[in-house]
């Protein structure tokens, strides 16, 4: 049977997004479970790709453990499928590189592969200096429908 399926949400989105709900409903219709990590936890301000990758690593390991512990489980075994949207797509690519055989396939929905490029649309180049100087910057968070602060470490970490 196929491995676990994960939906990796985009920047300033959430595990409860419209895409996540749609995918969850479609997969449930076929008897499959969709795992949707919330990368806003413990908070949006400290979000980094490194933290997201570590969280995904833990959640993939937990999904594999939960499956092997279930007696008579019809759950999934084997490598995971990662469905990533925008920043989640970038995370899916990084996870495939980092976790190797634990990832079977990727489904990329407009992956933010230019994220770490100078002048990316996340902020105009002239604002990056202000973000660096202030240490944090407000971004519109679609899941909360409000501005939320994000530490400059997000930007620095994206170059790693």
Percentage of residues of the chain with pLDDT beyond 70: 88
For residue range 64-108, list pLDDT tens digits in order. 887 655 444 444 568 999 999 999 999 999 999 999 999 999 999
Q: Kindly tell me if the per-residue pLDDT of 11 is higher than 80.
A: yes
How far apart, in whole angstroms, are the C-alpha atoms of residue 148 and residue 37? 19
Q: Say which DSSP state 139 is in.
A: E
* Residue 66 pLDDT: 77
* Residue 73 pLDDT: 46
* Residue 116 pLDDT: 61
Sheet containing 34-35, strands listed edge to edge, beginning at the edge strand earlier in sequence:
34-35, 5-8, 80-85, 103-109
* Residue 120 pLDDT: 65
Please state the rounded mean pLDDT for residues 47-68: 91
* Residue 159 pLDDT: 85
* Residue 126 pLDDT: 82
Fold of 5-115: Rossmann fold (3.40.50)
Report residue 113 as tokens: 């592969």
Residue 45 C-alpha from the chain's centroid:
15
Radius of gyration of the CA atoms of the chain, in A: 17
**Cis previous bond, 7, omega within 30:** no
More confident residue, 139 or 124: 139
Q: Kindly tell me if the per-residue pLDDT of 51 is higher than 90.
A: yes
């Amino acid at each position: 049977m196929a491995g676990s399926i994960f939906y990796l949400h985009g920047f300033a989105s959430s595990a409860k997004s419209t895409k996540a709900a749609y995918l969850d409903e479609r997969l449930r219709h076929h008897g499959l479970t969709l795992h949707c990590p919330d990368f806003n936890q413990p908070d949006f301000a400290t979000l980094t790709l490194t933290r997201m990758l570590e969280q995904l690593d833990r959640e993939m390991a937990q999904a594999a453990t939960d499956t092997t512990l279930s007696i008579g489980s019809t759950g999934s075994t084997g490598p995971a499928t990662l469905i990533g949207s925008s920043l989640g797509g970038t995370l899916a690519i990084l996870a495939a590189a980092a976790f190797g055989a634990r990832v079977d396939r990727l489904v990329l929905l407009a992956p933010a592969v230019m994220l770490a490029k100078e002048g990316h649309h996340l902020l105009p180049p002239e604002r990056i200096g202000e973000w660096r100087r202030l240490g944090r910057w407000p971004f519109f968070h679609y899941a909360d429908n409000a501005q939320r602060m994000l530490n400059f470490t997000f930007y620095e970490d994206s170059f790693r």
